[in-house]
Chain A
Amino acid sequence: MNVFELITYLFSVLIYPGLTFLVVLGLLTQWYIRKLVGRMQNRIGPKYVGFMGIAQPFADIIKLMFVKKELSFRHGLRSFLVIFISLGMGALASAMLFTPISPYLIRAPYDVILFIYLMLWTTIALALIGLSLSNPFTIVGSSRFLTQVLFTEPAIVMSVLAAVIVLSKDSEIPFSIYSSLAKYSIGPMSTLVIALSLISYIIATIAKSMLKPFDIPEAETELAGGIFAELSGPALALTIVIHYTELAFLNLIAVLLFLGGPYPLSYGDPLGALIITTKYVILLTAITSIRASTGRIRIEQALTAILKYPLTLSTLSLIIAMLMHIKLIL
């Protein structure tokens, strides 16, 4: 790796599309959700900081980081949870290097496994937040979160795998995320696989991001915030950032992998970014509409719903993708 490559690598990891880009995108996503849910529920939503309150999430994070004190509790492992939040954020920034929007690209045969591994780190980090604090609310919140992701993670993994099997077919680098994202033209059976995977992925993303009706691990009125109950100051700021950064990341991957990214243009086209942004906002609006129009369900209802829909659909799409791969279905 020469000096230019090293600078490009560090720029990709820390600025675009890595850490800085993801954090800004995550906080803008939070603003959009808060504003849209506010309007749908006949409220104003964020208003005072910036145009239409767009800078409100940034102001909240700055206040938590630099003004608010961090309270730490007896028997709590505060450094432990911050280390895992940092690793989770690092994993998301690292996973962005596999996408074609990154100036420095990581692409290798079967790198989809590595990509999925990096996607799982935020789940581990969020689960450990509650388990590292000695409070029944946070522990119950974490156990609910772990129970929920026990069913959502396989759906997300199978959806991504099915899409990559179909899209990286006949490419030079087999089962690579880059090859899958850079492909635009697919047949009718592949379209079916992508459609099934997309539906499964979106429902699983809502559940994984703890948005209504799957906000059971938080449950403000029941668990006093669940896994976030004991957090304050900089630790709470980092937790909010990783929570919304993960949602932004999952949404962006849905746009790039299942919705064709900048299609009908290509990644090199300057207008491609506009198309990706439009698809991102449309998908986020759909997720937010579900979040705003539903109430919280019970944990067993959530698990049954995840078993019935996303898990079944993703299993079906993976089976069809495998049969296409061994050429039993064309």
Chain B
Amino acid sequence: MDVITASILASISMLITALIIYLIYLSVRSSGGSETGLEPYLCGESANDFKDGISVGGDNLFWGSTLATLRRLYEVLRDEVHTGVLNDWLTYMGIWFSIATIALFIATTASGG
């Protein structure tokens, strides 16, 4: 079969399965009943006690990837690449374009182009 037919068949099977699971969930939920409008669980604290609300700041959300793990990469980019000297910038761009050209060469050769 061709790629389009494969994509259509895969999508249909995905949607059929999802629909069946969702219908099972709806039937079970409506028969079992539910309690709505509850306060979020905050280890016994009340949401009203927090002056700025209970949302989490964007800086805290990706602290692990942006600060802790990739700190070295940022330091290199800031201290080695962005020195303000034109020659450093040309060297950096030269290296970058060389890598991009090699990657392009490998990609076109691999695809037989």
List residues of chain A with CB under 8 Å of any chain B CB.
Answer: 9-10, 13-14, 18-19, 65-76, 82-83, 85-87, 89-91, 93-95, 97-98, 106-111, 114, 118, 121, 133-137, 139-140, 143-144, 146-147, 150-151, 224, 229-230, 233-235, 238, 298-300, 303-304, 307, 322, 325-326
The minimal Cβ–Cβ distance linking B99 to chain A, given in whole angstroms, is: 13
Contact B69 A86, beta carbon cutoff 8 Å: no
For window 53-91 of B, CB contacts with A under 8 Å fall at 54-56, 60-65, 68-69
The main secondary structure of chain A at its interface with chain B is: helix
List residues of chain B with CB under 8 Å of any chain A CB.
Answer: 1-3, 5-7, 9-11, 13-22, 25, 28-29, 32-43, 54-56, 60-65, 68-69, 106, 109-110
The minimal Cβ–Cβ distance linking A65 to chain B, given in whole angstroms, is: 5
What would 15 more interface pairs be, CB under 8 Å, given A106-B9, A140-B60, A234-B28? A19-B17, A69-B35, A70-B35, A72-B35, A86-B17, A90-B13, A93-B17, A106-B6, A111-B3, A114-B7, A114-B10, A136-B56, A147-B62, A147-B64, A325-B110
Task: Give 20 CB contacts A-B under 8 Å.
Answer: A14-B17, A68-B32, A74-B37, A83-B22, A86-B17, A86-B18, A87-B14, A90-B13, A95-B10, A97-B9, A106-B1, A135-B41, A143-B60, A146-B62, A147-B64, A229-B41, A238-B25, A300-B69, A322-B110, A326-B109
Number of A-B contacts (CB under 8 A): 171
Contact B14 A118, beta carbon cutoff 8 Å: yes
What CA separation (Å) do A325 and B107 show in the bound complex? 11
The minimal Cβ–Cβ distance linking B105 to chain A, given in whole angstroms, is: 10
What CA separation (Å) do A144 and B62 show in the bound complex? 7
The minimal Cβ–Cβ distance linking A271 to chain B, given in whole angstroms, is: 29
Interfacial chain B residues near A110, Cβ < 8 Å = 3
Those 7 A-B pairs whose CB atoms lie nearest each other, nearest first? A300-B68, A299-B64, A90-B18, A90-B17, A108-B6, A143-B61, A90-B14
Contact B38 A72, beta carbon cutoff 8 Å: yes
Interfacial chain B residues near A69, Cβ < 8 Å = 32-35
